[in-house]
């Protein structure tokens, strides 16, 4: 599997072959917290004949999780959204991607929005999947942060071998139970994630200042920004998706910039791969003529 150094830290990625029309944007997919690039594979399989696709493991997660602990000279203390957006910018520059649409899941959606802000010449549009926010509820966020800290700290290796855990993970945060292979992958990614990165990404992205900054960021974007929500997503409810989307100028347009998928939870790319792919294709067709000029 190829990798490239971003700020001296290897990032592992998969890039599908180029398509006939080289002027089309590359679709770049950003995974969520405690996940990895693998969950985007069903979407990539559907779209790769039309668009070149890039999936990668963010710093501290998936195959990129093995680096930080053994490379003290480059271990970053910054795990905020801007830092991960800078990582993405560096990755795109390293592999010579000049035009991209970025699709991000949950926390990855926030990273995608920040990437559009800091690198507008490369990132031509953003699609946020199961991502929203912008409202800071102190008690809820404190519970969320405390629960996340406990979750990250208790991850013994022997959890890999607990038979029922894959079943449990295949049903967590989803409306449609996933195939057991995805439950198994979630267990692997949960255990494999670097502790410093997992805690840092959780805590730095959920401060009051960071949460309140996100709507301001969306309001300033010149690029298209769309949001896909799961009707039964209990992690990122539709009202929070609509709230963040409302700060973009497309929200009040005739077609709006929010799509809702029935009977879908928080992992739309594996719960509803075909529906998500159709929505992505529909969005791109609206803007593709602008992008290839």
Core vs surface per residue 79-110: b (16+ CB within 10 A) or e: bbbbbbbbbbbbbbeeeebebbbbbbbbbbbb
pLDDT band, residue 22 (cuts 50/70/90)? confident
pLDDT band, residue 41 (cuts 50/70/90)? very high
Residue 253: predicted pLDDT: 87
Residue 7: predicted pLDDT: 86
Average pLDDT over residues 164-171: 96
Residue 66: predicted pLDDT: 76
Residue 72: predicted pLDDT: 46
Taking 50 as the threshold, does the pLDDT of residue 126 lie above it? yes
Taking 70 as the threshold, does the pLDDT of residue 68 lie above it? no
Whether 260 contacts 231, CB under 8 Å: yes
* pLDDT tens per residue across span 176-225: 999 999 999 999 999 999 999 999 999 999 999 999 999 999 999 999 99
Mean pLDDT in the chain? 93
- Which CATH superfamily hosts domain 3-292? Alpha/Beta hydrolase fold, catalytic domain (3.40.50.1820)
H, E, C per residue of 83-115: HHHHHHHHHHHHCCCCCEEEEEECHHHHHHHHH
Lowest-confidence region among 9-13, 71-75, 207-211, 232-236? 71-75
Average pLDDT over residues 40-58: 98
Average pLDDT over residues 100-125: 98
Residue 290: predicted pLDDT: 54
> What residue segments make up the domains of the chain, in order of their start?
3-292
pLDDT band, residue 75 (cuts 50/70/90)? very low
Taking 90 as the threshold, does the pLDDT of residue 269 lie above it? yes
pLDDT band, residue 70 (cuts 50/70/90)? very low
Residue 73: predicted pLDDT: 42
- CA–CA distance from 162 to each of 23, 63, 167, 169, 184 (Å)? 48, 22, 10, 12, 10
Taking 90 as the threshold, does the pLDDT of residue 291 lie above it? no
């Amino acid at each position: 599997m190829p990798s490239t150094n971003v700020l001296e830290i290897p990032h592992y990625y998969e890039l599908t072959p180029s398509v006939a029309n080289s002027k089309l944007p590359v679709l770049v997919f950003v995974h969520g917290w405690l996940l990895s690039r693998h969950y985007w594979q069903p979407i990539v399989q559907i779209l790769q004949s039309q668009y070149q696709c890039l999936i990668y493991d963010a710093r501290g997660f998936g195959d990129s999780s093995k680096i930080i602990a053994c490379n003290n000279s480059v271990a970053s203390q910054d795990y905020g959204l801007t830092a991960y957006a800078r990582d993405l910018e560096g990755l795109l520059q390293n592999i010579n991607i000049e035009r991209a649409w970025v699709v991000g899941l949950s926390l990855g959606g926030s990273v995608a929005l920040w990437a559009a802000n800091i690198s507008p010449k490369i990132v031509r549009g953003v699609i946020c999947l199961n991502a929203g926010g912008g409202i800071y509820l102190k008690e809820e966020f404190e519970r969320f942060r405390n629960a996340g800290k406990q979750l990250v700290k208790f991850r013994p290796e022997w959890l890999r071998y607990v038979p029922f855990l894959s079943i449990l993970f295949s049903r967590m945060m989803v409306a449609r139970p996933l195939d057991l292979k995805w439950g198994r992958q979630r267990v692997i990614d949960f255990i494999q994630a670097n502790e410093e990165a997992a805690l840092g990404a959780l805590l730095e992205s959920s401060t009051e200042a960071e949460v309140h900054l996100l709507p301001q960021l969306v309001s300033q974007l010149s690029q298209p920004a769309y949001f896909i929500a799961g009707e039964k997503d209990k992690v990122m409810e539709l009202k929070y998706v609509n709230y963040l989307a409302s700060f973009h100028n497309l929200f009040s347009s005739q077609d709006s910039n929010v799509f809702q998928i029935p009977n879908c939870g928080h992992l739309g790319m594996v719960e509803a791969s075909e529906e998500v792919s159709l929505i992505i294709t529909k969005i791109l067709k609206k803007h593709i003529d602008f992008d290839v000029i």
